[in-house]
Amino acid sequence: MPGVGTVYRWELFKLRHQKRTYLGLGAAVLVPILFVLAIHLRHHHDHGGFAFSDYLDRSGLAVPLVILLFGAVWMFPLITALVAGDIFASEDHNGTLKTILTRSLERWQLFVGKALAASTYAVTAILLCGTVAVVAGSLQSGFNSLQSLSGTIVSAPKGLELVYVSLLIYLIPIAAIVCIGLLLSSVTRNSAAAVVGTLMVSLLIQLIGILPGLTGLQPYLLSTQFNAWQGLLRTPIDWSPIIQAVWVCALYAVPAIGAAFVVFIRRDVAGG
């Protein structure tokens, strides 16, 4: 019997045959390479004073962490939105929603399969970017120990483990971005509007965080949760930002995915 698994497998198959998938994954691969190239071409070692900047020349493991720091602004939201914002809207664009809705699958099964596929793509992009950053960074600066944010030295293998756990923590706000992308994709029925809209929502939330008088909102902004992984890089591990990221992101993700679900289930398929 066909079910969510069937939809999920075919959605992944479809993603493998679409240019936008490779655009996103290509960016996830290229950005760390370009970043490492930029480090290599610099003649002095002043990298600016942000977290792990001093370690860029001493340990390749600092590279993925720095990319996580800056990628939150627009790169990862955009890469995520490329698929999440498109996955329902492209069905409207191609007129294929009516084709798949008249087969033997319930709408909820199609929705869940598509949401899982968009999430899988986002996870793949983040992990791919992190892995390329580790490899490229290690080639440039060596696979060396890393200094935590508390000043303690972490061995290279332990550092590698922390990098991957950080990537997983980073997926919490990314999941919220996926949900917002799915909502806009479902509501706007327009791929470009959904992709750009998702990015704009992400940027808007960051903008709110820097507006004078609104700094009190920062703990509850999605943009803040992109830094939750830094709790792992403290000794002892500070779990509070990670726990906060879970529930704050849920506040964004659950209503968004819920609304996307209701819209998709109830909508009239009058076009295409």
Residues that bind another protein (CB under 8 A): 1-2, 6-7, 9-10, 13-14, 17-18, 94-96, 98-107, 266, 268-270, 272
End-to-end Cα spacing for the chain: 28
- Report, in Å, the least distance between residue 266 CB and another protein: 8
The whole-angstrom distance between residue 248's C-alpha and the CA centroid of its chain comes to: 16
Q: Among candidates 136, 132, 114, which has minimal Cα distance to 124?
A: 132
Nearest distance, CB of residue 24 and another protein, angstroms: 16
The one-letter code for the residue type at 35 is: F
Asked if residues 253 and 174 have their Cβ atoms less than 8 Å apart, the reply is no
Q: By C-beta, is 44 or 266 nearer to another protein?
A: 266
Nearer to another protein, 95 or 255 (CB): 95
Q: Rounded to the nearest whole angstrom, what is the least distance from the CB of residue 80 to another protein in the complex?
A: 21
Rounded Cα distance between 254 and 172, Å, is 12
Please state the closest distance from residue 117 (CB atom) to another protein, in A: 13
- Cα–Cα distance, 147 to 52 (Å, whole number): 8
CB of 100 to another protein, least distance (A): 6
Nearer to another protein, 95 or 219 (CB): 95
3/157 with CB nearer another protein:
3
What's the CA gap between 59 and 142, in Å, rounded? 5
Distance CA 167, CA 127 (A): 7
17 or 43: whose CB is closer to another protein?
Answer: 17
Q: Where are the alpha helices (DSSP H) in the chain?
A: 4-16, 19-41, 62-71, 75-84, 89-94, 97-101, 107-141, 156-188, 191-210, 222-225, 240-266
Q: Which is nearer to another protein, 9 or 42 (CB)?
A: 9
Cβ at position 88, least distance to another protein in Å: 14
